[in-house]
Amino acid sequence: MLSVFRSNTNNWLMIGVFIAITFVFVFTFGSWGGGNISGDLPIAATVNGEVIPMTHFRVQYAQTFRTQTMYRPGFTADKAREEGLDQQVLDRLVRTELLAQAASKRGLVIPDDELVKTIQERFFGKDKEFDSEEYKRVVNGIYNTTEARFEQQLRKELLASRMEEVLGDAQHVSENELKDNFLAKNDKAELEFLKIDPSFWKSQVKDATDDEVKSWVAANKPKVQKFYDEHINRYRQSKKVNARHILIKVKDGASDDEKKTARATIDGALQRVKAGDAAAARLAKPEALKGGEKERLEKEAADNAFAKVAEELSEDSSKSQGGSLGTFGEGAMVKPFEEAAFKLEKGQISDVVETKFGFHVIKVEDVVPPTKKELAEVELEIGKQLVREDAQKIEARKLADEALVELKAGKTFAELSNVAIVKPPVEGAPPPENVDPLAPKIDATGLFARSARVVPRMGVAPEIIELAFSTLTSDKPLHEGVLEVNGRFFVARLKSREKPDLEKFNAEKGALEQTLLSGRRAAVVETFAKGLQEQARIDRNPKLLSSSM
């Protein structure tokens, strides 16, 4: 593409193109960094044999990170690592590569003039003469890549976008779909309700005797089994270890000399902590000590104790706690670290372990063996909880039934007689103080649409949505039964209904169509990309695989 620009250096519109690119990319991404414009390219991933350069990954990561910091105050590098931002960025680059490859297989191309036109439209700059030497300097120096690689990546991104356009252009939204969507979003209802949480009676119901629980368990074996299966993590714990570590960091793209220096440091730390452990072991056998050996070993053990060495050398936030990571189970650490730690016995020290963060030495302070409680061991414990919950539900249901009787007799929610019910304050009055948050409460949803997934103040409740729009009417606003939703009881009445204004449909149809098409196009592209990924050969740089540490 450079030749295209050279042939158009007298065209004022083309002159500013790369000046504009420089401005936008530098101030958006910063330097690519870490590349090698003359030799082998550090790789973030390969997709069907095509390389995603580490330099390109870093540009995209920097852009994404800066965008997050703009919209999320306090977003830090640690937070980015915790959320797996590196994995998200790499996944996005893999997706782009897959779409670009699919576009090429289908004969889609981005010719030079179209690429130039696209760049011109996106990054139009001031009227300056195109300088090929300046272009080289910017691409080689700031982006740390070659002109060919730079232009190739731009083509791939445009090819991926073209593939998305082809997929999206095949999508259609019918008139009936538009109208149904309009009606669903503009058909609204508001409910007034009494919410009753059985937990309110937790301290009021009496515990059953052991004999009563045993009888209940014998008669309710399926319920006990179901509870056990749904809460299996409460009764089965995998192996855990309590460990310390010393970390010497190695940054991405570190030179061989930097890696050698880090390795020498961690090797020295390993020698020290092993010497400290050996000295401590000798001190444990005082009968074998000779002369002034005790004092020498005490000093060596103290100077080279794992915690002390970690405090001195480790480049991790745990150094202030002597490298302590506390107790953790499987999946909490990056894989190489976890595998090394879980192979150690109590008191053992690992050899040097390499992860995406750098070099580690690990010492396991304690091993918590896996635990497993069979159903027979805990069925009485489960039975006590379920019997208590049943008793609470009986009280809650009793109050709901009493309230429903009063409402059917013509009372308003505000006139309900049970003193435990928290009622809305009189207009202008302050809200009541010291109210139990679990107490039965009268409330209202506010208007919500038929297309809503969550009913305000009631939760995810499709049955409530169905009730509000299909059963309750202004003539018969009170639901004649007690509703049980998400473990709570509700007595509900239609408070108001707002019907769609069909005259607004034509005015809003265009915007609604774009919204629906956008969602549909995104969905079909995502499905297409997922299918490509399932069939692709993808090798990711293991140092970019996210995990917490």
pLDDT digits (tens, 9 = 90+) for 275-287: 988 888 878 777 6
Closest CA to 403 of 474, 496, 490: 490
Closest CA to 525 of 92, 81, 204: 92
| Residue 548, pLDDT above cutoff 50 | no
Global confidence as pTM: 0.55
pLDDT digits (tens, 9 = 90+) for 485-526: 989 999 999 999 999 988 888 888 888 888 888 888 999 999
Spatial strand order in the sheet of 240-249: 324-329, 240-249, 358-368, 353-355
The confidence score (pLDDT) of residue 139 equals 64
Q: Where exactly are the structural domains of the chain?
A: 2-170+528-544, 188-234+374-498, 239-369
Fold observed for domain 239-369: Chitinase A; domain 3 (3.10.50)
The confidence score (pLDDT) of residue 3 equals 45
pLDDT band at 254 (very low <50, low <70, confident <90, very high): confident
Percent of the chain topping pLDDT 70: 85
Q: CB burial class (10 A; 0-12, 13-18, 19+) of residue 327?
A: middle
pLDDT band at 429 (very low <50, low <70, confident <90, very high): confident
pLDDT band at 119 (very low <50, low <70, confident <90, very high): low
Mean pLDDT computed over every residue of the chain: 84
DSSP states of 92-143 as a string? HHHHHHHHHHHHHHTT----HHHHHHHHHHHS---S----HHHHHHIIIIIS
| Residue 30, pLDDT above cutoff 50 | no
pLDDT digits (tens, 9 = 90+) for 36-74: 433 445 889 999 999 998 888 887 888 899 899 999 888
CB-based contact 85:65 (threshold 8 Å): yes
Provide the pairing of β-strand 353-355 with 358-368.
Answer: antiparallel
Handedness of CA 360, 365, 369, 371 (dihedral sign): negative
Q: Is 305 left (phi over 0), alpha (psi -120 to 50) or beta?
A: beta
CA dihedral 529, 535, 540, 542 (to 10 degrees): 120
Cβ neighbours for 35, distance < 8 A, ≥ 6 positions apart: 41, 42, 53, 54, 55, 143, 144, 145
Return d(Cα 171, Cα 165) in angstroms, integer.
Answer: 10
| Residue 407, pLDDT above cutoff 80 | yes
Mean pLDDT of 192-197: 97
Question: Percent helix, strand and coil across the chain, each rounded to 5?
Answer: 55, 15, 30
CB-based contact 241:327 (threshold 8 Å): yes
Most confident among 28-42, 113-127, 343-357, 426-440 (mean pLDDT) = 343-357
Return d(Cα 181, Cα 440) in angstroms, integer.
Answer: 36
The confidence score (pLDDT) of residue 8 equals 44
Query: Structurally, what CATH architecture does the domain formed by 2-170+528-544 represent?
Result: Orthogonal Bundle (1.10)
Q: CB burial class (10 A; 0-12, 13-18, 19+) of residue 108?
A: middle
The confidence score (pLDDT) of residue 210 equals 92
Return d(Cα 21, Cα 40) in angstroms, integer.
Answer: 26
DSSP states of 391-451 as a string? HHHHHHHHHHHHHHHHHHTT--GGG---TT-B-PPPTTSPPPSS--TTS-EEEE---EETT
The confidence score (pLDDT) of residue 507 equals 84
